[in-house]
Structure 1
Amino acid sequence: MTNLIGDGLANIEACAQASLALLQRNLTPHGILAASRTEAAIARRYTRIFARDAAICVLAMCGSGDESLEQGAVDSLDVLASQQAGNGQIPKYVDPEGQDADFWYLGCIDATLWWLIAVDHVRRQGAIDPERWQVEVQRATAWLLAQEHQHFRLLQQNEASDWADIMPRSGYVLYSNALWYEVKRRYGLTSIQTTHHHFNHLFNPFQRDLPEYHRARLLQHYARRGQRDPGLYLSFVNLSFAGNEGDVFGNLLAILCGLASESTGHRIVKTIMAAKASEPYP
């Protein structure tokens, strides 16, 4: 057992060093690129500063102790903020020179969510003014609040308007609302307990207790009709259809963001392990 633990820690350290080296290679004066400059990546426009990818990288770059990566984290958030739309939306991506911004076909809701999470992370490290990006933060949260259902306190979104753009998820999406709960927690936004309550009833409609709100009961009825409890949160819920495929990322985010109870979290992990989703790679 000791050797297994030692080998595991050594592998984690090797992965960490390789990750830092990759971040260094993908760093530009305006921020972190979503992919290294290969012919295929250039053709697919992946050599851009994607808000989602950059924000996740920022969580590792800020606090890494590497001066260039620390600065790159701030630069990435800066360039995305500079191209923020007038309504508050953070772009899906900006070009490497920080000039052109793209907002996808039907918007890109997770870009704004991840940007807000990354901003809070950088602020908490204490190396920048805690009021930095405050105007942009207020606009971004206002844009998200405008898309929040006034009873469920969950975000509604268009088809394929998050990272899973080849999967037609729409309505109330698990992944996006796990992030929304995290944004609410970090920024002290209102109605967070209502968000928590309806998240667990809407994305887990197989519970015995029925929601009091009649529209929630109808959504729950449609979502569970003809289905068995998969042991996971549903990937999305729309009016008359829902996502029964297992969204591993969304379910794990729900656990990490504190939305799943201890028993629900154990059930999710057990289901994912039984499906061998971690093989051959964890």
Structure 2
Amino acid sequence: MRSTEPDSIDAETLIETCAVEALALLRENLGPLGFLAAAPGAAAQSRGYDRVFGRDAAICALAALHCGDRALAAGARLSLESLASRQAGNGQIPKYVDGRGGADFWYLGCIDATLWWLIAVQHAGLIGHLSEQVARALDWLACQEHPQFFLLQQNEASDWADIMPRSGFVLYTNALWYHVKRIYALPHAAKTHEHFNYLFDPFADLRATHKRVRLMMHYVRRRRRHASPRELYLSFVNLASWGEEGDLFGNLLAVLFGLAGDHQTCRILAAIARNQAGAPYPMRVTQTPIQPAEPLWRPYMARHRQNLAHRYHNGGIWPFVGGFWVMALDLAGRRRQAETVLADLARASAAGGWQFNEWFHGLTGEPEGMPRQSWNAAMFLLARRSLSLPLFGRGIGNAYSLLEA
């Protein structure tokens, strides 16, 4: 199939071919410590993609547990154990571990590595096996939680969007935190849900009970940039700043994890559909890219011209996030749309001869970043599987049967 243009193949054949290619890529990228971020080689080594990244490997583990492949299922466990072995003394899971056993925690921390690791550990049935590490990870997160708002706090550029200015209470991070609270039966999950919707949707007809939350909501409503009602959750809320650029990944997680009600889900999916109209591939991750003249712009966003408008996290196209879009559409009962997006993800994966490119320019569709990305393959497989057995929202079968065998 490599010599055939993907546009000339029917959708069903393209999807099935992509599944075969995705499985092959995960096998190729399974190293001695677990799933590498990208295919091993000189290019990956020169840019540090030949490492086991916390968030990437956890997402790959979720997919590997459902592939029907014992070697990949074992790779899921290996990845999670490798990350646990380099856990910081305070409980934080590293951004990555390298082939020499070293660990990195980024400049200002990497809060979502711990969150994704916990999700994958629970899903793999390894809580008992890694009980001490799980307890320390949860303790560390509890120390990042506001004691009255029950939301995690972080500095900017300290999650997957590692050169974006989101800080304080961040949408994406707190969607993950709510899910972790639910699956680990942690206290105050309902309060996290409540304050999530107060702060990230301050335009809704809701009245917070906490005075400082009400003041933050009021401040945003009075000084927002856009006069029209907002369809998306804010990307972050800090003391005197907030994000109206539209974090589409964070909004999708809010849908998948049950933070958005039915009406809000419809608004989010409608906004995303309009934003993706005309996009070369799924999916753009920012609704309105941040421009250099805007208050949210940071000098570090221009480094190597990487995060200019419609590039990287600032409006670039990330196929792995498109997998979450497929899941959210299906969860909302929009199966036909989900199938269409899945076929478009297969086209993105096939670009350049099944390169599974890290990201694409948001307007031109030019492939960028590192090719042969593991989590692109993983999320395609998870999205495809979600059409028959959803990962989030409506339960899933025995996630760790291959680990027990």
TM-score (norm 1): 0.92
Give, in whole Å, the separation in 1 of the partners of 2:279 and 2:158. Answer: 29
Give, in whole Å, the separation in 2 of the partners of 1:40 and 1:16. Answer: 25
Q: Say whether the 8 Å CA contact 2:152–2:177 is kept in structure 1.
A: yes
| Corresponding residue number in structure 1 for 2:153 | 156
| Corresponding residue number in structure 1 for 2:187 | 190
| Corresponding residue number in structure 2 for 1:62 | 65
**Structure 1 vs Structure 2: percent identity of aligned residues?**
58
Q: Say whether the 8 Å CA contact 1:159–1:169 is kept in structure 2.
A: yes
Q: 1:277–1:73: structure 2 CA closer, same or farther, 3 Å change rule? A: farther
Q: Residue 266 of structure 1 aligns to a residue in which SS?
A: helix
| Corresponding residue number in structure 1 for 2:178 | 181
| Corresponding residue number in structure 2 for 1:260 | 260
Q: Say whether the 8 Å CA contact 2:171–2:236 is kept in structure 1.
A: yes
Q: Residue 35 of structure 1 aligns to a residue in which SS?
A: coil
| Corresponding residue number in structure 2 for 1:135 | 132
Give, in whole Å, the separation in 1 of the partners of 2:36 and 2:48. Answer: 10
Q: Say whether the 8 Å CA contact 2:118–2:180 is kept in structure 1.
A: yes
**Residue among 36, 51, 54 paired with 1:51:** 54
Give, in whole Å, the separation in 2 of the partners of 1:278 and 1:197. Answer: 36
Q: 1:12 and 2:15 equivalent?
A: yes
Output the amino acid matched with 1:227.
R
Give, in whole Å, the separation in 1 of the partners of 2:199 and 2:169. Answer: 9
Structure 1: segments with no counterpart, 5+ residues: 1-5
Post-superposition CA distance 1:58-102 (Å, at most 9, x none): 0000121111101100000010000001110000000024x1000
Q: Which 4+ residue blocks in structure 1 deviate beyond 6 angstroms?
A: none
Q: Residue 255 of structure 2 aligns to a residue in which SS?
A: helix
Q: Say whether the 8 Å CA contact 1:203–1:236 is kept in structure 2.
A: yes
User: Is the deviation greater in 14-23 or in 271-280?
Assistant: 271-280
**Residue among 75, 78, 88 paired with 2:78:** 75
Q: 1:277–1:22: structure 2 CA closer, same or farther, 3 Å change rule? A: farther
Q: Say whether the 8 Å CA contact 1:254–1:260 is kept in structure 2.
A: yes
Output the amino acid matched with 1:250.
G
Q: 1:10–1:238: structure 2 CA closer, same or farther, 3 Å change rule? A: same
| Corresponding residue number in structure 1 for 2:279 | 279
TM-score (norm 2): 0.65
| Corresponding residue number in structure 1 for 2:347 | none
| Corresponding residue number in structure 2 for 1:247 | 247
| Corresponding residue number in structure 2 for 1:209 | 206
Give, in whole Å, the separation in 2 of the partners of 1:199 and 1:270. Answer: 21
Q: 1:167 and 2:170 equivalent?
A: no
Q: Residue 221 of structure 1 aligns to a residue in which SS?
A: helix
Structure 2: segments with no counterpart, 5+ residues: 1-8, 283-405
Q: 1:112 and 2:109 equivalent?
A: no
**Residue among 28, 34, 40 paired with 1:25:** 28
State the structure with bigger RCO (CA 8 A, min sep 6), 1 or 2: 2
Structure 1 position 7, deviation (Å): 4.6
Q: Residue 144 of structure 2 aligns to a residue in which SS?
A: coil
Output the amino acid matched with 2:280.
P
Post-superposition CA distance 1:168-219 (Å, at most 9, x none): 1110000000000110011000000000001011101111233121100121
Post-superposition CA distance 1:4-55 (Å, at most 9, x none): xx95444333222221111111111210001112433222211110000000
Give, in whole Å, the separation in 1 of the partners of 2:82 and 2:65. Answer: 16
Output the amino acid matched with 2:224.
G
Q: 1:145 and 2:163 equivalent?
A: no
